[in-house]
Structure 1
Amino acid sequence: MAKDDYFVVIYQLLRVLYNALKSGKQLTDEEFEGQLVTLNERYWNYIVQNMADDGYITGVFKVHPAIAIGETSGVKYHNVAITPKGIEYLFSNNMKERVKNTLKDIKEIIPGM
């Protein structure tokens, strides 16, 4: 499983949001979007929108194109946070072990991660 696989990205985002919650910190919208790193925007939007639709996170809003203004469709963020369902996914999903092993392998291959 690659570091940009769907389930790896979900696990990483939920982990970041859960750690922020536990530490009493609210990620800024820019900090959340900064998690994008190497994903293309369409893939990132797909993942984030589905995480919101599935009830794992809040603070994600679908933007529909406004023809007169020229805005493109996509997603916007405001105070993104993990939900109890997201926390449950983080700790009980059977993909978790595979994802954790993938991340461990990546850290062994790429020094400094």
Structure 2
Amino acid sequence: MAKDDYFVIMYMLLKRLYSLLKNGKVISEEELNELGSQYNQQYWNYILLNLTENEYITGVTPIKAWGGSGMKIIGDVQITPKGIEYLFSNSMMERVKNTLKDIKGIIPGA
């Protein structure tokens, strides 16, 4: 799987949000923007909006306007209990996790 694969990005974001939640923190808008800056903006918005629509995260709302759509951060972006369950019980998330582990084992510093 490529590092910009939909499920890889989803896994990395949900994993980060869950880690922050366990530490009593939320992701800063700056860190969220930094994560998204690695990808095409339309693609990043698509991922965030789908995570929101599937109720895996909160704090993002869709914006519809002439010429397209986007998203707006409306509060703290956090993982939901449904997102935590998805992160740990979905077979695709498990495959991504195992793929990323394998890459780290093969490539030092990855």
Helix, strand or coil at the partner of 1:14: helix
Deviation by residue 1:67-91 (Cα, 9 ceiling, x = unmatched): 9xxxx73111131000000000011
Question: Counterparts of 1:47 and 1:102 in 2: how far apart (Å)?
Answer: 20
Verify: 1:87 aligned to 2:109, yes or no: no
**How many residues are treated as equivalent by the alignment?**
109
Q: In the alignment, what sits opposite 1:107? A: 104
1:36 is displaced (CA, Å) by: 1.6
Tell me the CA shift for residue 52 of structure 1.
0.1
Shift of residue 95, structure 1, vs aligned partner: 0.9
Q: CA RMSD in A?
A: 1.9
User: TM-score normalized by structure 2?
Assistant: 0.86
- 2:39 and 2:88 map into 1 onto residues whose CA distance is 24
The structure with the largest strand share of the pair is 2
Partner residue in 1 for 2:72: 76
Structure 1 segments unaligned to the other structure (5+ residues): none
Q: Is the 8 A contact 2:88 2:94 kept in 1?
A: no
Whether the 8 Å CA contact 1:3–1:106 is kept in 2: the answer is: no
- Structure 2 segments unaligned to the other structure (5+ residues): none
Indicate the structure whose relative CO is greater, using CA pairs within 8 Å and at least 6 residues apart. Answer: 1
Q: Deviations over 1:3-51 (max 9, x none)?
A: 1111111111100000000001111112122212421001101111000
